[in-house]
Structure 1
Amino acid sequence: MPFKRSLMRYAHSAGHTHCCYTADGERIITSGSDGDIRIWQGIDDDDPNSECIGEFVLCIAHYGDRLLASTDLNTVQAYTYPERNRDGTEFTFTAPVTTIKVDSKFIAAGSEDTVIKVVPVDKSEEFFELTGHEGPILKIDTSPKGLLASSSGDGTIRIWDLKERKEIKVIKGFETASSFYNAKTFVTPSFEPTKGSHLAYVQGKQVQVLETVNWSKTVTLKDDKISSNYTVCSFSPCGKYIAAGTQTAEISVWEVRSGDVIKGETKASEAHRITALDWNPANNGEFAYTDNTGQLGTIIDCYNIDENILEIGIDENGSVDNDVDFGDIQFDKDDEDNENCISLERLKNETLGLAKSDDDDLLERKSNRSDSVAEVRIPNTSTAMQSAFQSSSTPAHLEHRYMVWNNVGIVKAHTDGDESTIGVEFHDASVHHDIHISNYLNHTMAALSSSVLALACDTPSKLVCIALSAGSREWSISLPDCEEIIAIGASEKLVAIATDVNNLRVFSVMGTQRELICLPGPVVAVAGHGDSIMAAFHAGSPINGYQNISIMLMQAIGLSVRCREFRIGLTPCTKLTWLGFSDRGSPVCNDTMGTVRMYNLKGNYWTIVCDMNKHIKNASDTFFIVDVSEHNQIVRAILCRGGAYPMTTPKPLVTELPMQIPLCDMESDKSELEESLLRNASLLIDNSEANLREIAIKLFAIACRSENEVRAKELVEMIASPNLLSIAIKYANKLGRIHLSAKLTELLPQMEEQEQLKEKRCNEIEMEAINLLQSSPMNASLMLAQKDKSSSLTIAPKPILSSQGKRNPFKRGGGGAAKLISNPLSHLTDKAIGFNDSQSQGSESLNGLHPLENDETINNENIENESQNLVSTTTPPKFMDWYKEHKEELQSQNPDAIAAELTKIAMRQFKALQSATKSIKRRAEDDEGAANKLTKYN
């Protein structure tokens, strides 16, 4: 019976189109250059289910209840079927994925980057790569024997042993192609599906069939009716037939054993190149095909289905052929399900009442378990855990690579045979001159800051640091034998290394061991800034493609350490590619989707500040992040064309990408202003308050022009700035919005109240900081030491003045004594309570080590005594000394006050005493000045 050809119908827009059947053979799935996936009930379905998953889809595959598709993001994305919900990412490549193949054991995919990736279906092992092709992968197929055949644009077919993961055969002599889109033929290797005994592929106007035992040619299939070269071919599910399509949409079908051509409609109404061909797995003699114009067609009645069934395992006499291989299913001669046979074992058990044997129970349990597994399929949720990496570095296996590239400089490693060197280039020559050293320890990791260059290697696990601010002084330290360094980070004050036993070891720049912190999980990356160290680690196993990563942020203050932990935000089914700080100290991360996120330390949340994919033109291009400037609102990165890492020569250019929060409808002026408003409010930007007022006025004007007074009032309430309110009232009056102006005027008392509450809250925070410093054991000991030091200086005898006119270091107004006074807690309390250096410098004359002159002008003796014992009014440790001295007196005066209230009372009295002291000093200076004038006058 000749095969029949259906009419071609539109499936997708013009371009490469692919098709496949579902596992049950009831539906056809197609994909095309329009980025859509369509599911057809049949060739006559006028309303297929459609889903857009990207810009283009080159290939698809279906198995079980999963659908695999190549995306424009160079990934193989999994979806549930038929719901088409995301179900993880199977593979990620550096170029578009061109072919996917799934069998009972393996999932394989090939890409334009010449790499083939394979993973077991049950995910019992991690994926592995097959490399060796020198051109884009065109098509792949797998064999029941554990073989994989791949055709490439380099003009070869390569046969791989998946168990040994190596190449075993190369077939040459095919047309070459520099790109998948330029390939005129896909060669399309196809294994015989039942036993894998033969391999077929197209070559010109022929289809060659090889034996897989010795790779000798078995038969060459030809069809005299065709006029162009074949592009694709495929074995039927029964392995008896082969179908092939040509560059002009001609179809040929052969019976393999005899080599005869099956008669049918070979010619097509339109001559377009066939891009895909897939047999129906129901083994009904039907297959579907697509061409490069987005058309879909089917071929039916290629063979008689009844004839095919009879030849499976029945001989001429009607008995079952005992030599048929039924795989793992073995049949017992005395099967209990056979009612026409007599089983002696069953008669014994029934007569003697014997129980079933353990083997029977085991078989029954296995049967029940198999039935349950067949009914309910547990979705595969395993995902590979991301390994540790160094931010802004290229892979360690490269001969010439970047060990780190950041805002300070570039550290490059060069390997030439047995010689290995490391070169450091600084962006600012004032920081340090360039460095060139031999890499005799084979360092693979580096971290660079303005004060230190840190180098590390995993084996032997040793840390070597060069202190740039101390004349390039070098120090090193070796780790215990049980630990290996897997990540390193450095800041201006600290150096941190993470080990394989989840330890985070922190050192000072000069080599003092500061901390040993146990991380809750395997480390992913480490970064440093100022007195802070940030470590990313796995908080649990990945689930459904989601990496379960958390961040530990450590801040070293004196001898104390404060840590906080928070989860990291990543795009679904992506990995972390960069971790670091902005120039203002905000944590920043980037994932494989090119989404840059910044952590708001005040609000404790992540926000997207840049989508780097919007700045690339080709899907295979990526950005290599170098630095993030929160001050200038830019992301400095290197554009990598067709790859993920920059080349060392020539030196690439750094691109500045502007930060932009991806709000909705960014084409409108309103959304642009809202984005700028949100960015100025959430990021640490100079003059942010002035910018907020300016942007808010523009948004207020847009709302007024849009006749939306409610939104205008809402905006003013949200900003809650008295200055903005006054400007908004004037603008509303100018536009004649009297009703809006009246409503805004009513908000003035409310905003004043909010300002008062805000000021009160600031005072409470100040008190909390004071209590925190007071309650700290470290600070208490330091304060006690400072007090002892002050007491010792007070009782020391005055130096003998010489007659030679030497400078008196204790003379009032001299700079020597003021500089000798040190405050060991100034670097803590200035930040915690809000005092600045100018205030401290302006009030040095009130220090207890410098008694006030002209004490006879003071009328109140008690105030005089208090002022002599008073410490600096602007330095919190001095207040604490005064508070410690008068604490018992304050407690007796206020017996019912708690600790916080007692501190507030003490602060009020201290400030009153401060004001009195200043006024007394001012009067004394005035009296002294008047006396001097009077003396001159006389």
Structure 2
Amino acid sequence: MASTGLPRHRPRPAHTQGSTRCAYTPDGTKLVTVGSNNTIRLYRTGFDGEPTNIDECPEQNVAVAASNEFFVSGSEDGTVSLYSIATDSFEQFLLRCPLPIRDVALSPDNTWCAVASDELTVSLVSTRDITHVKTLRDHNRPTKHLSFDPKGSLLALSCTDGKVYVYSLTAEQPELIRTVDDLIPSMDADAETSSRVAWHPDGRAFAAPTSTRDVQVMSKGDWEKQRAFKDGHMGDITALAWSPNGALLATAGKDKQILIWETKTQTVASRHEYAGVMDIAWHPTKNILSFTTGEGEVYICPEFVQEQFAGLLKEPKQPAPFIHDPLKQAANNAPRLNGKVIPSRPRRDSLGSLASLLDDPMDEDDDFVVDDDGAGYAAVSGRKRPREGEDDLFGSNKRQHVLEPEYHEAFQPGSTPWRGNRKYLCLNLIGFVWTVDQDGHNTVTIEFYDNDMYRNFHFTDTFLYDKACLNEHGALFACPPRDADTPATIFYRPHETWIHRSDWRTQLPKGEAVVAMSLSESYVTVTTSSGYVRIFTLFGIPCRVYRPKSMPIVTCASWRDYVMILGNGPVGADGRTRLLYNIENVKRDEVCQNEDTVALPEGETLKSVFFSDSGDPCIYDSTGTLLTLLHWRQPSRAVWVPLLDTKLLPRLASGKKSESYYPIAVADGKFHCIILKGGDQYPYFPRPLLSEFDFAVPLTSSPPMETSGDGDDDDGEATEEQEGQKLQQAFLLGAIAAAQMSDLADATSRAGGRSKITMALARKELDIDKTLLQLLAGECRVGEERGMRALELVTLMRDRSGKMIEAAGKVADRYGRTMLGEKIREVGEKRMAGDEGEDEF
């Protein structure tokens, strides 16, 4: 950090004492300054002579914003004026307000001017048609500062009540989408202290001064506090501005200091002593910083940033200082094979041009693309261009056009991305694990739903764990490799044990990172970036290491002795890889399913995978559908069956609710999830409540209607139809559950365990037959014309003793269906005789 005592730049007397503001034109050719007198000055960049003056303008100008063609200024007399830069003259009044103007801002496309005054509203005035005005009125407080985001889709208001109000401008009428508390200090509208929101040039975050004299960065979208520029000023901050590429931040304070901060490290690069600074403006392309003071002076300072830091201004646009940058996380989660990132491609329907595929320049020896038909093809990595006169692999010397595949990204089930400095490592029915970044170390907390059985705990995490699993027996953690000398680490901690310190920790080979992991009551399964599946016992003994056929690996899940591995398979017609899965019994060394396909609709992705409480694989996809796998213990027989389509939930039938669901588990015959509101994709803090939904196989597009109870005929028919749908649901769900129980009984070797499952299966089949009896009664009520359908229901009954079929005959007799009763008894006689064939009906 450079110390004070640097050469001082000379001030230029520009205005009388009072509020003085400045702004560069986007092309950097001119600097516009306004102040307390009735003169506006335009300084030409690189010219050290007298500026151009625009006289006879309103006095007490307190705000200015500039484009290349014009600039606007706001005065305490309530007028907002537009001036031409080409003619250096006044053109028109944009707006007149009854109270003093406090700030003006131009949208990035210069078509709108936002105006803040001491009124309780903010006006958006079209610079092309001043009769077109929009009013922002949902904040109900006077606004001190205004700031458009770089795309012009958001407008941030710093109000006198100490809150930042963010409006979305994408719709015809601006909409308040966020109120940010506990960020900026409350102050009077005419205070010298600043509470301005300064958007970072990458548009993903903004910075704002705090009451503790720091500058806090907040991310857009999740509105979480990110990195902060701390311990720089001893007085309140009066101005701040990002450099054009976002690599540096300039701040001024009442401590008579201008500080230049390095964005990446949030450290002070240099200090400069200047008193009374009110406004700061960076030149768009040069190492020039300009600022104004309360004495009416203007400083234009070439080479203001010292030589050792000046190179930062020449770099491309830098990222905003996130605690955990989602862009870096996306890069870290990119598909990898043998530790190397595999390039992916955008969807074919989103390709605008060949340039969209060629993001990076290619060396002469690299593969190349000939896009002579405009289809947007890319060459396959590793394929070499055939030499002149040499045939390629397909017997032709023509260049091949091959699509690059789009891979399914890896993920850890039950976890969330970083949001600010917090992240859920694991969410399930046992409890939840979350971590907080404490700058240098993390704090990990484990909380359980059953505090009588388990004890909550937390610990200081110096390994920086980013993945975790939790079950009834213990907690599993993994951290990524930090550098070449610090490999990835796996840590298992049991909840309780009969001996002391039975937890264990192991390291992966250098350069190998954990992609996903799972924990069962028997094994620890870890999939890695090198394409390995590593399986340990609960005491840390490695029992299996292998490389699956489907790579890159996407995720994994486990239950007891079973492990399910999912990975990218062959490329489909849409250019996406097909998601494949393997299921094996580690203890028996048996493969249940080998390279089978995960049933995903075209273009959709997998959101989570887990085993149910009864040990059946389940998936939840991006369509909001929950599916389970039937007959998965029998090779080549597995089939994905839908249990619930959340889009068809009755709570969404009105269309007024907009919500999604974060999957947690399948247990007790229900889908357990977290309801997400407001477009959120992941749950956040405070800890959300769990919700549960009954299964409902998607049979119809309309969810069941509520019974009105007014007794009219239409409602009666609707109720009868509803009852039929419920019974059909019960029959289908019962059949699915019975199939899973039957498979489990066949796979259970212990006699005691098998007898319990067999008894449960018998009760389930009895329930199915009772449901069929109810459906039979409904068919009998309709009339004789539904006799064949009614008889078919009887043939679906599972009871072999004849009691349920006998009951079915009595139901038919009760409704006077004599012919149907006779047919039912014939079915019963054939079943008892054992000669009921598959072609009987």
Q: TM-score range by the shorter chain?
A: 0.3 to 0.5
Higher helix share: 1
Return the TM-score normalized by structure 2.
Answer: 0.45
Which has more radius of gyration? 1
